[in-house]
Each structure stands twice: as structure tokens, then as C-alpha cells.
Structure 1
Amino acid sequence: MPLTAFLKLSLLVAITATAISARADLVVLQYHHVSDSTPPATSTSVSLFEGQLNMISDLELDVVDLQQGTETTLAGTDGQGNHIAITFDDAYDSVYHTAAPLLAEKAYPYTIFVNTEAVGRTGYMAWDQIRELAERPGVTIANHSADHGHLARKPNESQSDWQARVTSSLDSAQGTLSRELKAPAPMFAYPYGEFDEALERKVAERGWYGFGQQSGAIGQQTEKTRLPRFPMANAYGQLGSLENKLRSKAFPVDTGELPDGVISENPPTLVFPLVEPIDANRLTCFASGQGRIDFDVTDGNVEVKAPEAFNSRRFRYNCTHPAGDGSYYWLSQQWLDLSKPED
């Protein structure tokens, strides 16, 4: 290749990489409890939560409304620099008593995903508390199903039984939210972060955005029914690694083309295209409980497969790549083994 052509190509690649890394992506944080006395696996300590909010402020990152931020990010109309959205699953009472006052101090908007049958039970908010929050500026209430069930089709479940079960859970919850709050947002958080392609279609048919629990940022190529969120419980939200997550960029692939998360073999294989500006020599992939794992590049595709089978119902492959200015492209694929017991 002539030198001038090589220089032009190098400049084009650099410009493309800079443009992608400079775009405005949306990083969504996912919480359950904000408390020092609730189950550790789903809890964020009060001091850690305060530290996370302070880091967002110190980094001068804008905290935005989840629905609006998702819409503008997918449309590519959100300017430059990352934005942050804050979400809570299950409407636990610690959100009302502890998280909400701290968020109000910073005037940060947030969304609460409610599984409606749990409202009023011990440890959960009551409807009057949810209504009070919903009337505050910047607070959005959305659907987390009626029963917090495992909504992917079970191995021995008929198609008709699954259709009836899922339709009831999705629509009865939305109906309850409509009666109690009048205008629930068109958003849904999958219970346990579990979904399959059939459930995604149900969400899409209703015109909702679907949020999981796989990590990563939302970008223009993110599929609207498999939107990622970073879990922020104590084990995952520590301040030492938080900045990388807050500044992460959506991996430049169409996530709608990634495989269904329900596995047919264990360990499963993740395949995605090797596209600019991703360089295989700078790509790193990890598997839940197995640390860093190898991958192959074949015919322009990256093939990721863990060396050992998994024993858990849910697990992930995460791949990262430098995105410039100290940030990383972040791709997370959640897998679901339906042969394992429900939790």
C-alpha cells in the first residue's frame, strides 16, 4: 500500500475511533436495597451509596431521566459525554426511607421498577409511599411484572401456558400501575435479569424498553429489549472500579444480533463481529467465576467460549476494549441455563 494511502486509512480509523468514543452513551445503574441490614447479595450499604453519588458528582456526569436518556441515546441525539441513569428494582422500603432523601439532596432523577403483588408486604413500599415518590420531580415508576416470576419459558411448559402466564404477569402489573399512578412509563425490567427472545418479543409488542442485569453502557446499536444495567450491590459497586463503569462505552456491535441468552450447550459460545475500532490484540474477555478466558478470531468474527461448564442458572461473558481517554468499550452477554433450579 502506498504511504499516502496508508496514512489516509490510519487517519480515517483514528477519526472513526474518536467519534465513537466521544459519543454520548447512557450508563444505567441498578440497585435493590440501600441498607446496612438487608441481604448482602442485593444490598448497597448506605455509605457506599453516598460514595457512588459523590463520585458521579465529582466526575461532573449528568444524571438523566431513564426513559428520556434511553430514547435520545438510541437515536444518537444526546451530544457527547456519558450520561447516568439510576434505577431500583422491587420497590423496597429502604429506597423510600434512605435512597430517596439522598437523591433529593442532589436533585438526581431515578426510576423504580415495581413488582406489583409485593407492594405493601414487609420490607416493601406501600402504595401511598410509591404515589408520594411518583409525584416528586424526576421520579418515574415502571413495570417489574406482577409476581416477580421467572418469565422465560420453562423446559416442560407448553406454549399456550407460557403465553397465558407471561401475558398475565406483564399486563396485570401494567394495569395495576395505571390504576394506582395513572401513567406508568413504557419500560420493563426483567425479573432476575432473565429473558429469552420470545419474552423480548412480548416486551417489544407492547412498545416497552426492556432492561436486564447484564453490564455495559447503552449506545445507538443497543437492542431496545435487551438494555444493560450495571448492578451496584456491594460486591459490584465498589468505588475502586466504579469510575470505569461510569465512563464505559457501548461496545460497537448490534446487540440485537447477539445470540439468545438461553443456552443449548454448556459452556455456550458467543460470536460477534470484529469491527472498527476493535483490535483483537487489545480485547479482553471474562467469564463468571472463571476469570479471564481466551477467544478465537475466525472469518472476521470473535468467538468466545469458556473452558469449563457452569453450575449456576445465570452467568455472563464480559468483553472489554480500550476506548480512549481511559474509558472502555464494554460488552456483556448474560446466559440462562433453564435446567438449573429457579431461585
Structure 2
Amino acid sequence: MYSFCRIVLAVSVCFSGPLNAALVILQYHHISDETPAATSTSPELFRQQLERINELGLKVVNLEKGTTEALVPPEISPQQVALTFDDAYESVYTTAWPILEQARLPFTVFVNTDAIERKSAGYMSWEQLRELAESELVTIGNHTSDHRHLVAVPGESRDQLNARVDSALSNADNTLKRRLGLSPRLFAYPYGEYSEIAQAAVRDRNWLAYGQQSGPVGTCSDPTALPRFPASNAYGALPALTDKLLSDAMPAEKSEMPSTVIKENPPRWKLALPEGWDVAKLTCFAPGEGRIPARALQKGVVEIKARNAFPGRRSRYNCTYPQQDGNFYWLSQAWVNPEKPETQPQLLPSQPAR
């Protein structure tokens, strides 16, 4: 509905050049030195990241507006950045919010409603969320009610998964209406995992949905599987972040992107490249392996496959291609192995419940 791209190799509406630059979305959880390392960004690094965005002359924009402009850009669309926070952790209110309010930078908080209802340790309260929601800088998004994986578990039928997905989305929406008077059309998948059934549920609601696979949003991006760059301590160091902030969306028709749910391990990814691209310049990576092969199958089509099976539940292939200005096109394919155990929500036992 939001994306109109069709790869036409000579003249592609997917091609994202200087006049139709992308939206780079940064994804955060905690802004703290005292929370789980894998999902935390230190306050000092967070300030440095915002300073780098400013130094590069990039504008931080409202997520929905920026996404819409990236998917269907005006005649001239500058490179833009959006800031997002998953789960509604308390450090977003106590640490990130004062910094962003002072700088007058917009951001989005995706709310896991059951955790707020339970007054779980480490999460915001409804009072704090209500204060944020009243600011013109803040957008509230849906992050499901129960924060469960939206991929079928072994033995779960399509009907059962469909009912579970519908319940998770609708229950959160109803709670946000009751608590905040809002019915958001922005949604983030828990753990960045999505299935065709989850995407269909989002599409039927006319929502925009965001994953955790890296890359910018461009004209070819799927509105039900929009990429974001994780910006935690592990991924948000300034040298690498600069490359990400200046990256452009790699032209790739969304209908050609494979399902995230793997049927073989490691999975194969067939990717069509625009006319004139040199396969030798395409660089693809897999976690734990570094660079992986991209083998030409036929003119303009490559097969990308890791050397080894993924040991965990989630993985991804990240691919880049150099631009003439020294920056990169960037595209990521997320993978989920449903045979591996689901992740349990992080608990912060040292913090008392309210």
C-alpha cells in the first residue's frame, strides 16, 4: 500500500539516489549504564550519537512522517534520521527524555502494555507515558500486549498463530486507547521477529511495522517489515554509526525478499541487483563469520549463503554496496529458526516494582 516499487533494471523507481535519500532509524532499549549490556546504550554514548547526527547535518524527524517520505519521496528528499525506543523502559523517561526534550528532538516509544499494566520493574508507569504522550515531540507506538514472538511455535497451526497475533495487537491497542486515548498506527515486532501472518495482520490494520534488521528505509522497503539500526553499545560506536547514518537503501523489490522463517540452515538468499552493478563489489556478512560468499547465478542475480548453520534463534545477512561518494547502499535480511527456544523478556530483579 505504501510502497510502489518495481525493479526495472534500466530505470528503477527503487533506485535511491541523491535526490531521494533514505530514512535511517535508530533503535534503542535502555539508556543506562546499569541495565543488560546487550540492549543498553550508555548515556555518554547516546549524547555522542546525537552530536554526530548534528555534525553530519542530518535532521531528526517524526517517525511516521519520515517513513512516509522515504517510501514515497517528494521530488527532493534529504537524508533523515528517526529515533525509536522499544518496550518503554524507565531509563527512556529518566535519562533519554530530558536530553531529547532539551534538544527538541522527536522520538517514538513502542509500548509493551502488559509490562506497564503489571507495574513491572524497570518500565515506565502510565503516568510517565501520559506525560510523554502529551509532548509534541513524542509518538507512542504499539509493541504488542504480551511481547511474545509472532512466529509460529512448533505444533502451532496457522489459525492458532493468527488468533494469537490478533490478540497481541488488539489487546495492546485497546489498552493504549483506554490509558492514553491513543490508537497508534506504528508497530514494532517484539525481538524483531515477524512472520507472513504477522505482516498480514499489520497490513490489514493499515499500520507501519518495524523490525530489527539493519538498513535504511527507501522506496523499495516493505511497510510491514521496515529496517532499523540497533544503536546499543555493541552496535552504536561512532565510526560504524557514521557509515550507517550516511547509508542509502539498497534497491531490492520487497516482493522478492524471502520469508524470515528458515527452512534450511544456513538459508540461501537470492538477490536481484540493479543493472550495471558489479557482483564483486557486493559485500555480505553473517554474524560470527564475517564476510560470506555472494555467488553470481545469472545476470543480475546472486545467491548469498553463510558457510555454517546458525547456532541461535535469530540471525541476519547484511549486504552493502559502495556508492560513488564513498557511502554505502545497505540491505539486511532477517532470519528466524522457530525450532530454537523463544527468548524470555528481560527482568531487572534489582529494581523494585512500583
What is the TM-score with the length of structure 1 in the denominator?
Answer: 0.93
Q: How far apart in 2 are the matches of 1:306 and 1:163?
A: 31
Residue number in structure 1 paired with 2:247: 248
Residue number in structure 2 paired with 1:329: 329
Q: Which runs of 5+ in 1 are unaligned?
A: 1-11
Q: How far apart in 2 are the matches of 1:305 and 1:316?
A: 11
1:267: Cα distance to partner? 0.4
Does residue 58 of structure 1 match 2:55?
yes
Residue number in structure 2 paired with 1:71: 68
Residue number in structure 2 paired with 1:81: 78
Residue number in structure 1 paired with 2:42: 45
Residue number in structure 2 paired with 1:3: none
Residue number in structure 2 paired with 1:149: 148
Q: How does 1:207-226 map to 2 (within 5 A)?
A: 207-226=206-225
Q: How far apart in 1 are the matches of 2:18 and 2:296?
A: 23
Identify if the C-alpha distance between structure 1 residues 260 and 15 changes in structure 2 by more than 3 Å, giving closer, same or farther.
Answer: closer
Q: State the one-letter code of the partner of 2:266.
A: P
1:58: Cα distance to partner? 0.9
1:161-189 CA distances to partner (integer Å, 9 max, x unpaired)?
A: 22221111110101111122222320110
| 2:16–2:218 Cα contact (<8 Å) kept | no
Compare relative contact order (CA 8 Å, sep 6+) and give the higher one, 1 or 2: 2
Q: How does 1:149-298 map to 2 (within 5 A)?
A: 149-276=148-275, 278-298=277-297
1:336: Cα distance to partner? 0.2
Residue number in structure 2 paired with 1:320: 320
Residue number in structure 2 paired with 1:108: 105
1:197: Cα distance to partner? 1.3
Q: State the one-letter code of the partner of 2:324.
A: G
| 1:24–1:78 Cα contact (<8 Å) kept | no
Q: How far apart in 2 are the matches of 1:191 and 1:299?
A: 37
| 1:61–1:82 Cα contact (<8 Å) kept | yes
Q: State the one-letter code of the partner of 1:328.
A: F
Q: How far apart in 2 are the matches of 1:315 and 1:233?
A: 17
Identify if the C-alpha distance between structure 1 residues 59 and 145 changes in structure 2 by more than 3 Å, giving closer, same or farther.
Answer: same
Identify if the C-alpha distance between structure 1 residues 126 and 20 changes in structure 2 by more than 3 Å, giving closer, same or farther.
Answer: same
1:15: Cα distance to partner? 12
1:276: Cα distance to partner? 3.4
**Which sits farther off after the overlay, 58-67 or 251-260?**
251-260
Residue number in structure 1 paired with 2:3: none
1:60: Cα distance to partner? 1.0
1:17-59 CA distances to partner (integer Å, 9 max, x unpaired)?
A: 9972442210000000000100000000010000000000111
Q: State the one-letter code of the partner of 1:275.
A: P
Q: How far apart in 1 are the matches of 2:10 and 2:278?
A: 11
**Which sits farther off after the overlay, 138-147 or 252-261?**
252-261
Identify if the C-alpha distance between structure 1 residues 240 and 19 changes in structure 2 by more than 3 Å, giving closer, same or farther.
Answer: closer
SS in 1 for 2:99: helix
Residue number in structure 1 paired with 2:114: 117
**Which sits farther off after the overlay, 16-25 or 228-237?**
16-25
1:76: Cα distance to partner? 1.6
Q: State the one-letter code of the partner of 2:235.
A: Y
Q: How far apart in 2 are the matches of 1:288 and 1:162?
A: 29
Q: How far apart in 2 are the matches of 1:106 and 1:215?
A: 26
Q: State the one-letter code of the partner of 1:134.
A: A
| 1:268–1:306 Cα contact (<8 Å) kept | yes
Q: How far apart in 2 are the matches of 1:341 and 1:15?
A: 41
Q: How far apart in 2 are the matches of 1:78 and 1:93?
A: 40
**Which sits farther off after the overlay, 220-229 or 150-159?**
150-159
Q: State the one-letter code of the partner of 2:109.
A: I
Q: Which runs of 5+ in 2 are unaligned?
A: 1-8, 344-354
Identify if the C-alpha distance between structure 1 residues 338 and 131 changes in structure 2 by more than 3 Å, giving closer, same or farther.
Answer: same
Residue number in structure 1 paired with 2:93: 96
Q: How far apart in 2 are the matches of 1:16 and 1:175?
A: 38
1:117: Cα distance to partner? 0.4
Which is richer in helix?
1
Identify if the C-alpha distance between structure 1 residues 19 and 139 changes in structure 2 by more than 3 Å, giving closer, same or farther.
Answer: closer
1:237-286 CA distances to partner (integer Å, 9 max, x unpaired)?
A: 00121110001100111133200000000000011112135321211010
**Which sits farther off after the overlay, 68-77 or 274-283?**
274-283
Residue number in structure 1 paired with 2:310: 310
